[in-house]
Structure 1
Amino acid sequence: MTFANEVYSVLYFKGDVTAYTLNEKKGFVPSKVREKQTLATPFRIETGSNSLIVIKSKSKTNKIDSKSKIDFMETGKDAVVDVKYGSILTRFINKRKLKGYEMKIKSRTAAMGVRGTTFIYYSEPRTGKNFLAVDEGAVSYKGKNSNNEVGVNKKQSIISNSDFKNLAPKDYAFQRHINWELEVGRNTLSQPEALYESFNRVWEEHKKDQEFTWQKRNKDMENKWKSMSKN
């Protein structure tokens, strides 16, 4: 099963939502999203304040929250989603048809490989501080300057920032505020401000647990070897 030019349908949107679609003569052209509109990769979604959009393809449903800029790339075997900033919540569907299919998420601070799961990824615009939280399944997560992938499992989350500092994956308090709802017409779909407030508190509270930056780690190792060579 391949997903070249994967097609999405707009299930719901509110507020200021712009889609950038590819025109062979004009390049990427912005337009306001319409009800029941279809979007074929590659395209970009931008949402303003108090805005939101839910789009669905044959393989998954995505919810993009306010103040987000996300590119859905033209794909071959796998889908590639580039999160410039903001949040995307994804739930895979028709899992039996997805053998060998992987969704790849990237941002300026991390890269992820996803197969048949439900997760949310958020990247803060100013700092690049981000989190990945998994509701069902598992996601492989790799910080930008890391040599190793980290497995993030069901009901776990992981946090990192543009300095490549990471918190180990586990159940953090901010996960209690995630709105996993995707059913249009049922309750509110937006992520609450309490989620992002709690996320920032968790980051501050766990500073002592944060890993050294890879740059500092390499410098420490260099100094250690110099010290050993002198002895």
Structure 2
Amino acid sequence: MKIAAFVSSSSHHGNTATAVQKFLEGARAAGAETEIYYLHDYDMKPCRGCRACEKTGTCVIKGDDIPLLHEAIRSADAYVLATPTFYGDITGAFKVFVDRCYPFVDIWKDEETQQMRFGSRNKERRPGVLIAVSGSHGDMVFDSHMKVGYFCLNDLNSYPWREFCIPFTTWKPVAEMEDVVEKLYQGGQDLVRHMESGEGEDLARTGAYFARYRELKYN
């Protein structure tokens, strides 16, 4: 099995990268193949908002590295989305990546309720993990990270399996947080066991995300 991590920090050695590396280290110890995609290493042009991909499933923007990242998404069995916190929110690179995942979305109107539904062109349901790091903010800052992360996972046909939100890294880096490092390493192992077990999605957990972030009315 393959786990693909998409990291929106500009550093390969900072707190966000360290957190992801520890998680994937645990996953590899449990037998998974892993790959990290540091988004700043790729050319990602901003989404134009043209919505042409709603009909075609293909982005009209050409000449950047998004097709490589889309192929990584298609070939993975689980996803890790990771972002530090800039000005109390997700990074610009994370937002660009999420926006450019829009070609995966499948939108239709429910004939019975007349509400818009947002599914995915990805056919297989996959687990997703969110890792978010903050320097000086507390836990409250991570609500927006989780919301955007959930929207992206939904479009990739991925369910929110677990999140690791790590505040106050300005005073103590992730590498020195022994309890956090242990949880991340164990989390990577747990994800592999979860996938091997075939137990699948916790529908109550996904439903809680849906009720919090996605249950909007469209006419």
**TM-score, normalising length: structure 2:** 0.32
**TM-score, normalising length: structure 1:** 0.31
Structure with the higher fraction of residues in strand conformation: 1
Larger Rg: 1
Report 1 or 2 for greater relative contact order, CA contacts < 8 Å, sequence distance ≥ 6.
2
Structure with the higher fraction of residues in helix conformation: 2
